[in-house]
Amino acid sequence: MATGKFHQDTTLASPNVKPARWLLIALSACLAGTPLSAAAAEVTSYLQTYANLPGTGEVLLDNERVVVQKFTLQPGQSTGSHAHHGNQLLVFIRGGLLTSAATGRTTLWKDGRVLWQDATSHPDPGSTNTGSAPIVLMWVTLKPVAAGHRAPPGSPPKYRYLNYPNIPGEDLLENDQVIVQRFVVNPGQWEGVHAHHPDMLYIHIHGGQWASRSKTQPEKPYPEPSPDGEVGWMPTIELSEGHESGNVGPNPIDLIWVTLKQ
């Protein structure tokens, strides 16, 4: 399991990091001979937008493989129309009642529900939050794999299912792009020694206080609890490292793992 430690090291959620990110984009564009406007347009092209919501939401993670954004929809507020700029996974951090502008149908979306949208999906006229509490949405948009990073035809797949020996997971969704799994770690539980394979990110539906240990590191709690909605990109960890994490807080931790297949 990754927690806030990896989140702080590998994501762009901190407002203090974002100016540096754009400086790197500008520098990369200049070195590559690409105008800054073109580099910025490339980044923007992957961002989910809603006609009735200002800006592009909060960008929680942006790397070579994915962009992750968070939107909050207040009671009575409509998203307005939106299109899909790539293959996307929608995750409800905080669910609620959504009424479709296209059909008039009201649907209850519970915390942790997921929905897949292909890049070829038709534009949606939007939905309205007809419940009494805010709805928090998270979009994971996949970026195309660069030609130099694609596996040769016929090679074995690089991805694996996440396997916690001590905690059974729930398979939420699988297609040719992603595997989506959900785990609930109760107070006092440890996951068991496990590996993390390439291209995995985690999303906390309900966060909490983690600790970790391995063959080279004694048990150590993280300085701060992971908040609800925290997102992070997980580094590859071999099974031989003896890595595992545990819930040392008072409440269950509910998290989703997304594994990219390509």
Using a pLDDT cut of 90, give the percent of the chain over it.
Answer: 67
Instruction: State which amino acid sits at residue 131.
Output: G
Cα 2 from Cα 112, distance rounded (Å) = 18
Helices H / strands E in the chain, number of each: 3, 16
Q: What is the pLDDT of residue 259?
A: 97
Q: Which of residues 111 and 39 earns the better pLDDT score?
A: 111
- For 73, how many CA atoms within 13 A lie in the half-sphere containing its CB? 27
Q: What is the pLDDT of residue 154?
A: 66
Note the pLDDT tens digit of each residue in 59-102. Answer: 999 999 999 999 999 999 999 998 887 899 999 999 999 999 99
Mean pLDDT of the chain: 84
Which domains can be identified in the chain, with CATH numbers?
A: 46-142 (2.60.120.10), 158-260 (2.60.120.10)
pLDDT of residue 179 exceeding 80, the answer is yes
Q: What is the pLDDT of residue 183?
A: 98
Q: What is the pLDDT of residue 83?
A: 85
Note the pLDDT tens digit of each residue in 128-147. Answer: 999 999 999 999 999 988 76
Q: What is the pLDDT of residue 34?
A: 43
pLDDT of residue 242 exceeding 80, the answer is yes
Cα 150 from Cα 152, distance rounded (Å) = 6
Instruction: State which amino acid sits at residue 234.
Output: M
Q: What is the pLDDT of residue 149?
A: 64
Q: What is the pLDDT of residue 36?
A: 40
Note the pLDDT tens digit of each residue in 206-237. Answer: 999 999 999 999 999 999 999 999 999 999 99
Q: Return the CA Rg of the chain.
A: 19
Note the pLDDT tens digit of each residue in 47-63. Answer: 888 899 877 789 999 99
Query: Is-contact 192 164, C-beta < 8 A?
Result: yes
Q: What is the pLDDT of residue 44?
A: 52
pLDDT of residue 15 exceeding 50, the answer is no
